[in-house]
Amino acid sequence: MFTLWLADITELNLPKSCYISFPDGKDSLMNFEVTIKPGEGYYKVANLCSHFKFHLSILMSRLKVYHPNIDLEGNVCLNILREDWTPIPNINIIIYGLFNLFTQPNHEDPLNSDAANVLRDDPDEFKSNVKRAMSGGSVGDVHFSSCLT
């Protein structure tokens, strides 16, 4: 298993706006962070700030995010990580899946149904909510920390 995982890491071919780091070094390759800086979609930062980061682990977001596929506790709904998931999809596929969540959020498979309903019913309001949340504002009764750097 470890050898297969190491092979995955050496063969990574990430999108240009995705980065992976290993905070505990080579002795703990199962503990890693993915940084995603979307260049398109609702989470695009060009009109907000020049740098925008989401720090994610495979199943949990360490940052509270206003997103239809991420709940307020940080659980990530990624269809390739369902109950029938096997180690066959490599880490590269998983990171592309996470990247896709931020370029094309999916209101049809929500963990945050409030955000999903807004995305489905009023995309302009959803865009405004995303900007407010990323800037460290509140959406409804929920306050978000700024993820703009």
Q: Which of 18, 49, 77, 147 is catalytic?
A: 77
Q: Could you tell me which residues come within 8 angstroms of residue 149 by beta carbon, excluding any fewer than 6 positions away? A: 49, 51, 52, 53
Residue in the block written with tokens 């509270």: 64
Q: Could you tell me which residues come within 8 angstroms of residue 84 by beta carbon, excluding any fewer than 6 positions away? A: none
Q: Could you tell me which residues come within 8 angstroms of residue 23 by beta carbon, excluding any fewer than 6 positions away? A: 31, 32, 33
Q: Are 135 and 48 in contact (CB under 8 A)?
A: yes
Terminal alpha carbon distance of the chain: 37
Q: Which residues are bridge partners to 52 per DSSP?
A: 148
Tokens of 100: 């896709």
Q: Is 18 a catalytic residue?
A: no
User: Which residues are tagged catalytic?
Assistant: 77
